[in-house]
């Protein structure tokens, strides 16, 4: 069994499909997506459709990112809609548009709202790792973490989580296009929407990772284990 973490997808369905084909998950693998499925890219609707397909296999654990939060709060509070549109929401609505008119939140299918409201979660834990979208306070249990930290806080060096588990996160864009290993955390948001950006999938136990460009070109790499991980 592999535990496969996928970084911020941001509406790039082609990259997601190419990545899944390259990784070739088996029925025993877990697929943990760390959030930000919508906004900026050309096919947010297609990304959510693909995630719904994965959910049916029972393998998917989907976290909720700050871009999902903006989309959801825009539905409840129309006054927040302009901020979301400025941060990629316009491209998301374009992906839901019907022929001859602009897309609106009313065009989002009920199945997509159900996925965002009830399937997505704010965190996940395994024996050696904890998964969040953005960051986690080091001395606070995951269940008590503020949502602002879990979804919005930029990743900065700080003590490891008191659980001793390595944090896997997205949100803080790595302009290098490579995962960032800080020891206490590994950030896998490699900026798929940037000119040279990529979408990353990390095997969190082995350190092997796969990446896809927006057009579906694949490359691979590996994060070298640290001494404390070797001792587990």
Give the number of domains in the chain: 1
What's the CA gap between 151 and 66, in Å, rounded? 5
Provide the pLDDT for residue 217: 98
Give the contacts of 211 (CB within 8 A, at least 6 positions apart): 19, 177, 190, 198, 199, 200, 201, 218, 219, 220, 221
DSSP letter for each residue of 8-26? --TT-HHHHHHHHHHH---
Provide the pLDDT for residue 100: 87
Integer Rg of the chain from CA: 17
Provide the pLDDT for residue 224: 72
Distances (CA, A) of 18 to 127, 196, 199: 29, 16, 10
Cβ atoms of 13 and 201 within 8 Å: the answer is no
Range of the domain at 207: 3-230
The three state secondary structure string of 159-194 is CCCCCCCEEEECCCCCCCCCCEECCCEEECCCCCCC
Provide the pLDDT for residue 228: 47
Q: Which residues of the chain have pLDDT under 70?
A: 225-232
| CATH number for position 106 | 3.60.21.10
């Amino acid at each position: 069994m592999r535990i496969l973490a996928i970084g911020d997808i941001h509406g790039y369905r082609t990259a997601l499909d190419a990545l899944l084909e390259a990784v070739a998950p088996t029925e025993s693998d877990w697929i943990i997506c760390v959030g930000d499925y919508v906004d900026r890219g050309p096919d947010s609707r297609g990304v959510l459709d693909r995630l719904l397909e994965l959910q049916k296999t029972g393998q998917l654990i989907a976290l909720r990112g700050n871009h999902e939060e903006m989309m959801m709060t825009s539905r409840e509070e129309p006054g927040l809609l302009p901020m979301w549109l400025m941060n990629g929401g316009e491209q998301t609505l374009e992906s839901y548009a019907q022929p001859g008119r602009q897309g609106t939140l009313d065009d989002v299918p009920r199945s997509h709202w159900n996925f965002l409201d009830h399937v997505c979660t704010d965190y996940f834990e395994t024996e050696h790792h904890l998964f969040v979208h953005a960051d986690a306070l080091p001395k606070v249990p995951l269940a008590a973490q503020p949502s602002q930290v879990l979804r919005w806080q930029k990743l900065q060096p700080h003590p490891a989580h008191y659980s001793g588990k390595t944090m896997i996160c997205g949100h803080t864009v790595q302009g290098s296009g490579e995962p960032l290993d800080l020891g206490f955390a590994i950030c896998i948001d490699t900026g798929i929407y940037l000119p040279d950006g990529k979408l990353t999938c990390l095997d969190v136990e082995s350190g092997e990772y796969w990446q896809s460009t927006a057009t579906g070109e694949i490359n691979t790499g590996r994060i070298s284990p640290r001494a404390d991980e070797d001792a587990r």
